Structures are given as structure tokens and as C-alpha cells.
């Protein structure tokens, strides 16, 4: 296709026109069109709603929807829905969950649920005077947001606090109106942003139009929630006697396993290269739950990783303690997720996911997601420090490798049997299939 042309008015085309245009970029446009349409939902109304989640929508991208059973948290057992394209993530979460269910399960505590938004402004005026007038300004601002906050207040949430922050030490003439919110069971982005835009207008008119201030006008640069929510924090942990690890691996004694495990976590605390991968494994589980429940994983990731770097060095999100023969392993991270609003109740599969979890409130979902993250992380470190990550991962990935060689069902059966005792690799699978196909 011609890769030089600008297309005008694409968004105005209807879906079939868009599809017709796009399919021409394939070598076989008719086939491409059929393939794209094969991913539509059979119910036209349902498909229309899915299309309306986003823009220029042509079809759906299918992600495997699976579950990790036996996730015990604070004594309650969940079957946790997970959406993830990476093989072995759900298997690892399931194994970790079942392992810990036998030792009291996960323990979890929501430490805080506060969200934050900011109005950023530049001003050369008398900040001390503005600060002294803040009680009055604050009243005006809250009055402006009252129509927006009424519903949230009925649900027990709303604006918790607001303050003016002097940031001129880091940027000339830079100040913030920093606002704390309780958004209850919603992630709250739209609610917070709508309030902040009212506050921005309010603060501008208070300073620029009230006659109280002279000189240069106050300039609002932007008003927006922060995805960094260090005060929306959940802590989840597992614990047992060190001696309980006696059967975790054939080749390792309990105390040797714990020693290696401890070193692995310490390494993730002192080496950024390892820390990023360590934390990535945690988010494998957390994001899979976020996706399954209609939550925004980019917000979760940005927040969690920025938090991992809060001390000035990017580190592990987990912490291990071994004292007096007791093993204690915890994950603490900020997790701003919702169980109402957004797609949580609009997307039929997100809705089902929440039903499967017993329609939890947001704090309970924070606990569930972080428990799955911890299960995945525990599983990863256990594999890494014992038999290595590849044997399990490649076994899970074996069917994908077989599919990439278009293996028939009977070939898959033979391969699964054979690779129980052999190392899985692309060249190994290729060789094995060749041997079957050549009748060897």
C-alpha cells in the first residue's frame, strides 16, 4: 500500500467504510475483511456498545479470560478472574494461591484510600496574602463544586481536604492547589477532574477578578488528578514457619530455600535491573485482575513504579523478613482501582468478573489484586531460586510453540508427553515435529 498519503475525514466514515479502507492494507483484502469481522460479537447491540468504548473501532482484540481459584484472603476464598496474554501467569498465580491457602492464605490490609488532584498555577502575586485569604477562597471553591460532589457525598465520599502549596523552590512562581478526595468505590478520575476544573476557574476569578489582588494575573497551567496515589495504599502478606518449606523443593532444605529467597529479594532492593523485572512479575498478576475488572492498568503501573522509586532509588515492592524461625513476605503498594463507574459495569465481562468476586467494594478489590500480584511474585522467585524459570514457563508456552508450527492435535499430545522429560525450545519442538512427520 501507499505509505505516503494523508487520509482526511477518516473518523467520519462509518464502520464498514473504515473496514473497507483498512482491509486494503492486507495482501488479501477480502480475507482480511472476513477475519476482522469474525471477531465481532454475534449480538449487534453488544458489538455497538463495545465499539463505543473507544474511537475508530473496527473489531475486537481477544484476550484469554481465565481464573485463578483458591485465592484465600483474610480467610475468604476467591476465584479470581484474570485477563492476560502471557502464558504461565495464571498457572503461577493459581499454584501460589493454593500453596498459601494451605498456610493460612494471604493477609491484607487497606492502609488508606485517599486520591489526589492538583491545580497547577504560575503567579507573581503575594502568596502570603492569598494564603491568609484561603479560608474564604476555600468556601467559594467548595460552593462551586457542590453540584458535582453532591452524589459522591451521598455515597460517603467527597472532598477531604485542600491546601495551597508553595512550589517556588523547584520552579519560579509555581504554586499548587492540592486537593484530597475520597471517591469511594470509583477510581474517580472524571469526578476529580471535573471538581478541579471548577477550582481552577474559581481560583482564577478570586485572584484576577475580585479586585483583591493587583499586578500580574494568576495563570492556571492545568488542572488534573494525579495518578500517583501514595495515600491509597494496600499491604498484603504471607507468613509461616521456615520449617514449613521443607517440601518446597527436592534439592533444597527449608532454611536453604529461605536463604536463597531472602537473597533474591535483597538483590531486587539493591539492583534496579533486577528490581524492574521483580516488580514486572507483580504487575503480571495485578494487571490481569485490573483488565478482567475493567480497570485502567496504565494508571496502576505509573503509580506503582513511581512509588517503587520514592526513596531516590528504584526498588522492589516486596519485603522479606526472617526472624526467630518465622518467614514473613509482604507487598505494599498504592492501588487506585474501582468497582463502579468507567467500564466496570458497562463491559459485560468486567461485570461478570466482579460478580464472580462477590461484587466487592474497591478496598476489597485492592486486596484481591495485590494478593494475586504477591502470588505471582512468590511463584516467580520460587522458580528462579530452585529449578529456574524456563522449565515451567516453556512448558506452559509449549502449546503456543506447537501452534506456531501448525501442529495437529495428535502431534500436540505426543509432544506434551515427550517434553515432560525434555527441555522445551523452538528448535527442540521443531526437531521433535520433524521426527514425527518423517515417521522416525
Footprint of its own copies on residues 397-436 (CB under 8 A)? Answer: 397, 399-400, 403-404, 425-427
Known active-site residue 52:
no
Closest distance of CB 271 from its own copies, Å = 7
Burial of residue 85 (CB within 10 Å: 0-12, 13-18, 19+) is exposed
# binding residues, its own copies (CB under 8 A): 152
Nearest-CA neighbor of 100 among 372, 414, 416, 411? Answer: 372
Which DSSP helix (H) or strand (E) runs through 167?
Answer: none
From the list 21-29, 107-115, 203-211, 234-242, the region that binds its own copies by CB under 8 A is 21-29
Does 4 bind its own copies (CB under 8 A)? Our answer is: yes
* Complex with its own copies: residue 212 or 240, whichever CB lies closer: 240
Footprint of its own copies on residues 219-248 (CB under 8 A)? Answer: 219, 221-228
Does 303 bind its own copies (CB under 8 A)? Our answer is: yes
- Selected binder of its own copies within 108, 145, 236, 279 (CB under 8 A): 279
Q: Give the integer Cα–Cα distance in Å for 33 and 38.
A: 9
Does 17 bind its own copies (CB under 8 A)? Our answer is: no
Known active-site residue 244:
no
Is residue 276 within 8 A of residue 283, CB to CB? The reply is no
**Rg (Cα) of the chain, in Å, rounded?**
27
Does 146 bind its own copies (CB under 8 A)? Our answer is: no
Is residue 193 within 8 A of residue 184, CB to CB? The reply is no
Is residue 331 within 8 A of residue 372, CB to CB? The reply is no
From the list 138-146, 155-163, 377-385, 432-440, the region that binds its own copies by CB under 8 A is 377-385
Footprint of its own copies on residues 333-352 (CB under 8 A)? Answer: 343, 345-349, 352
Exposure of 146 in the CB half-sphere (CA atoms within 13 A):
7
Adjacent-strand bridge partners of 318: 331
Does 108 bind its own copies (CB under 8 A)? Our answer is: no
Residue 64 C-alpha cell reads as 484469554
Classify 215 as helix, strand or coil: coil
Closest distance of CB 64 from its own copies, Å = 4
Footprint of its own copies on residues 173-202 (CB under 8 A)? Answer: 174, 176, 190, 193-194, 197, 200
Closest distance of CB 151 from its own copies, Å = 6
Closest distance of CB 383 from its own copies, Å = 9
Burial of residue 325 (CB within 10 Å: 0-12, 13-18, 19+) is exposed
Classify 315 as helix, strand or coil: coil
* Complex with its own copies: residue 101 or 142, whichever CB lies closer: 101
Does 308 bind its own copies (CB under 8 A)? Our answer is: yes
The answer for residues whose C-beta is within 8 angstroms of residue 440's C-beta and 6 or more apart is: none
Known active-site residue 328:
no
- Catalytic residue (one of 41, 76, 235, 280): 280
From the list 54-62, 154-162, 241-249, 322-330, the region that binds its own copies by CB under 8 A is 54-62
Rounding to the nearest 10 degrees, give the CA dihedral for residues 278, 282, 288, 294: -120
Residue positions annotated with a catalytic role: 86, 280, 296, 393
Amino acid at each position: 500500500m501507499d505509505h505516503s498519503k494523508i487520509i482526511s475525514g477518516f473518523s467520519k466514515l462509518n464502520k464498514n467504510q473504515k473496514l473497507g479502507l483498512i482491509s486494503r492494507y492486507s495482501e488479501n483484502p477480502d480475507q482480511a475483511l472476513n477475519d476482522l469481522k469474525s471477531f465481532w460479537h454475534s449480538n449487534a447491540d453488544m458489538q455497538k456498545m463495545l465499539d463505543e468504548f473507544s474511537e475508530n473501532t473496527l473489531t475486537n482484540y481477544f484476550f484469554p479470560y481465565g481464573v485463578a481459584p483458591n485465592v484465600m484472603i483474610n480467610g475468604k476464598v476467591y476465584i479470581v478472574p484474570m485477563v492476560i496474554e502471557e502464558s504461565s501467569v495464571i498457572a503461577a498465580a493459581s499454584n501460589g494461591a493454593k500453596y498459601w491457602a494451605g498456610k493460612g492464605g494471604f493477609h491484607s490490609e487497606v492502609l488508606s484510600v485517599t486520591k489526589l488532584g492538583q491545580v497547577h498555577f504560575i503567579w507573581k502575586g503575594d502568596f502570603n496574602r492569598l494564603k491568609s485569604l484561603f479560608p474564604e477562597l476555600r468556601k467559594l471553591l467548595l460552593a462551586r463544586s457542590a453540584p458535582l460532589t453532591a452524589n459522591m457525598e451521598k455515597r460517603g465520599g467527597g472532598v477531604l481536604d485542600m491546601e495551597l502549596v508553595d512550589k517556588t523552590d523547584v520552579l519560579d512562581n509555581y504554586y499548587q492547589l492540592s486537593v484530597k478526595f475520597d471517591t469511594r468505590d470509583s477510581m474517580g478520575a472524571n469526578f476529580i477532574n471535573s471538581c478541579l476544573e471548577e477550582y481552577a476557574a474559581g481560583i482564577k476569578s478570586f485572584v484576577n477578578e475580585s479586585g483583591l489582588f493587583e499586578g500580574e494575573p494568576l495563570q492556571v497551567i492545568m488542572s488534573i488528578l494525579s495518578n500517583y496515589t501514595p495515600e491509597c495504599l494496600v499491604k498484603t502478606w504471607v507468613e509461616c514457619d521456615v520449617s514449613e518449606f521443607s517440601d518446597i523443593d527436592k534439592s533444597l532444605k527449608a532454611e536453604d530455600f529461605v536463604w536463597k529467597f531472602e537473597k533474591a529479594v535483597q538483590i531486587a532492593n539493591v539492583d534496579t535491573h533486577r528490581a524492574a523485572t521483580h516488580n514486572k512479575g507483580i504487575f503480571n498478576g495485578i494487571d490481569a485482575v485490573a483488565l478482567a475488572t475493567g480497570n485502567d492498568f496504565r494508571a496502576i503501573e505509573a503509580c506503582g513504579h513511581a512509588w517503587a522509586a520514592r526513596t531516590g532509588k528504584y526498588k522492589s515492592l516486596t519485603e522479606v523478613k526472617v526472624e526467630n524461625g518465622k518467614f514473613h513476605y509482604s507487598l505494599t503498594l498504592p492501588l487506585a482501582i474501582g468497582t463502579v463507574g468507567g467500564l466496570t459495569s458497562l463491559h459485560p465481562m468486567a461485570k461478570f468478573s466482579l460478580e464472580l468476586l462477590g461484587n466487592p467494594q474497591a478496598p476489597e478489590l485492592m486486596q484481591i489484586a495485590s494478593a494475586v500480584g504477591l502470588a505471582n511474585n512468590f511463584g516467580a522467585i520460587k522458580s528462579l531460586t530452585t529449578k529456574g524459570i524456563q522449565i515451567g514457563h516453556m512448558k506452559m508456552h509449549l502449546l503456543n510453540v506447537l501452534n506456531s508450527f501448525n501442529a495437529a492435535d495428535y502431534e500436540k499430545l505426543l509432544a506434551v508427553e515427550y517434553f515432560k522429560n525434555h527441555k522445551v525450545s523452538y528448535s527442540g519442538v521443531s526437531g521433535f515435529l520433524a521426527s514425527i512427520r518423517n515417521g522416525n
